[in-house]
Amino acid sequence: MIRTRFAPSPTGYMHIGNLRTALYEYFIAKHAGGKFILRIEDTDRERYVDGAVDIIYKTLETAGIKHDEGPDVGGDYGPYVQSERQNDYMKYALMLVEKGEAYYCFCTKERLDKLREDGDTGVKYDRHCLSLSKEEIEENLRNNVPFVIRQKIREGKTTFVDEVYGEVTVDNEDMEDQILIKSDGMPTYNFANVIDDHLMNITHVIRGNEYLSSTPKYNLLYEAFGWEIPTYIHVAPVMKDKHEKLSKRNGDASFQDLLKKGYLPEAIVNYITLLGWAPKENREIFTIDELIEIFDIKGISKSPAIFDPEKLRWMNGEYIKAMDFEDFYKMAESVLKNAIKTEGIDLRSVAGMVKSRVCTVYEIPEMIDFIDELPDYDKSLYKHKKMKTNEENSLDFLRLIIPVLEKAENWDNDSLYEVMVQTAKDNGLKNGQILWPVRTALSGKPTTPCGASELCVLLGKEETLKRLSEGIEILTK
């Protein structure tokens, strides 16, 4: 059975690149009827942030991903919090020491700093402690001299095949005898990921390609234990542009940032899945279930994907269009209430007008700001080539329609539309020659979320007539 895992570090922040990895892990497992496991990688105590684990749960839940096993739901191989598995790691590290595949290192920080400064071995550890005698080691341990445990890298070359990047070969010469257990007894990521992935029966490891070059070291560990090496799927980073990775500084980098900007979780999931993965069919909108159905490792791209906020915005707009009206209204209600101070405006009808026109609910206020107050506008707004209106004839058209609207008895959309179109017809005009000037006078804006008759209904008779007269004033100035 395919088992994948999401292994976030609780940093208090869910980068969308990380969330995308989680999605790919989820899709790959679920596509094959396998399991998706959550593992909290918190061995770096300095980076630990309170409440960060909850952010991870919340993110997965909001994104619509349900993990099968994890710190909160248990599972056969738990606990799934690395700091709670501490003893396991030490046990396995000592097994390697026993096999001659790892060794105690008692070098002080001062010695290591000096080594780095002198630069004789580059940034690599010089294997000073590899030559300690058994007696020396035992004495140090007896005297509680602080130590780390290092992997002893064998000579030769290490090759593996990554599902995305193909064959990767690294000369073992280029690898350092990396630390497996730190002086605080905690494992490094480099050690813990191997032990955990093995003990949790992970079959497919999906992670950022920054781990591609370390993977040979992990494979040497698997081999040292005699364990099966998992399938690797390394994915390229999400970029801000051609040169820079998308980072916290850019503002759009986390799931939380995007939610705050009014993007829907479904749209974010859809969009970031397509960042670095392409479906076979020429389509862009997919539900999470459809993605499970069609996800194929072969569609993952080697090259970095550029995060395009405009594209996400567009996609969000598509999701809003397709949304059930009541759900949209629930989401938009507070924004509408804040944006409209005028009494008696039917918020539901405004919601209906903007639903197909906004990409996020936060675009609503600007679109409807004319409701509370007619903005200052220039009379050139009346000019519209297609509608065949200009500053001169619009004055005539407004003068023509005002008395008709004054007399109108039924102030509803259909009746008002009818009356305006009829007036145009009776006077040998195009519909737009009446509708456009009315729309302009009522909104003072080049684009409105609805047509002239709907604007009349929205504003009510009194305000409509007031704004039409103001239109005449502006046109006669």
Which residue, 234 or 439, is less far from ligand GLU as judged by CB? 234
For residue 207, state whether it binds ligand GLU (rule: CB under 6 A).
yes
- The CA angle 37-43-47, to the nearest 5 degrees, is 110
Q: What is the dihedral of CA 257, 259, 262, 266, to 10 degrees?
A: 140
Residue 72, sorted as left (phi over 0), alpha (psi -120 to 50) or beta, turns out to be alpha
The residue count for binding ligand GLU (CB under 6 A) is 7
Q: Residue 194 or 358: which CB sits closer to ligand GLU? A: 194
- Burial profile 344-362: b = 16 or more Cβ within 10 angstroms, e = fewer: ebeeeebbbbbbebbbbbe
Q: Which stretch binds ligand GLU (CB under 6 A): 2-10, 217-225, 307-315, 387-395?
A: 2-10
Q: Output the residue with the shortest Cβ distance to ligand GLU.
A: 207
| String of DSSP letters for 195-259 | HHHHHTT--EEEEEGGGTTTHHHHHHHHHHHTPPPPEEEEEPPEESSSSSB--GGGS--BHHHHH
- Under 8 Å between Cβ of 455 and 438: yes
**CB under 6 A: which stretch of 5-13, 63-71, 155-163, 377-385 binds ligand GLU?**
5-13
Q: Is 168 helix (H, G, I), strand (E, B) or coil?
A: strand
Q: Which CB atom, from 189 or from 222, has the smaller least distance to ligand GLU?
A: 189
| 386 in catalytic set | no
Residue 238 or 398 having the CB closest to ligand GLU:
238
Among 4, 7, 240, 382, binds ligand GLU (CB under 6 A): 7
The Cα–Cα gap between 159 and 247 comes to: 32
Which of the 8 DSSP states describes residue 2? Answer: -
Per-residue contact string for residues 154-193; x = within reach of ligand GLU by CB under 6 A: -----------------------------------x---x
Near ligand GLU by CB under 6 A: residue from 3, 4, 9, 26: 9
Distance CA 281, CA 274 (A): 12
Q: Of 114, 248, 321, 388, which one is the catalytic site residue? A: 248
> Any contact of residue 196 with ligand GLU (CB under 6 A)?
no
Q: Going by DSSP bridges, is the β-strand pair 3-6/35-38 parallel, antiparallel, or unpaired? A: parallel
Residues 23-42 that bind ligand GLU (CB under 6 A): 41
Considering the complex, what minimum distance in angstroms separates the CB of residue 217 from ligand GLU?
A: 13
Among the residue ranges 7-15, 177-185, 265-273, 276-284, the one whose residues contact ligand GLU (CB under 6 A): 7-15
3-state class (DSSP) for residue 171? strand
Q: CB of residue 37 vs ligand GLU: minimum separation in angstroms?
A: 11
- Single residue of 8, 230, 449, 471 touching ligand GLU by CB under 6 A: 8
**Distances in whole angstroms, Cα of residue 476 to Cα of each of 294, 406, 443, 453:** 63, 21, 18, 24
Residue 463 CA to residue 466 CA, distance in Å, equals 5
Task: Report if residue 17 touches ligand GLU, rule: CB under 6 A.
Answer: no
- Tell me which residues are annotated as active site: 248
Residues making contact with ligand GLU (CB under 6 A): 7-9, 41, 189, 193, 207
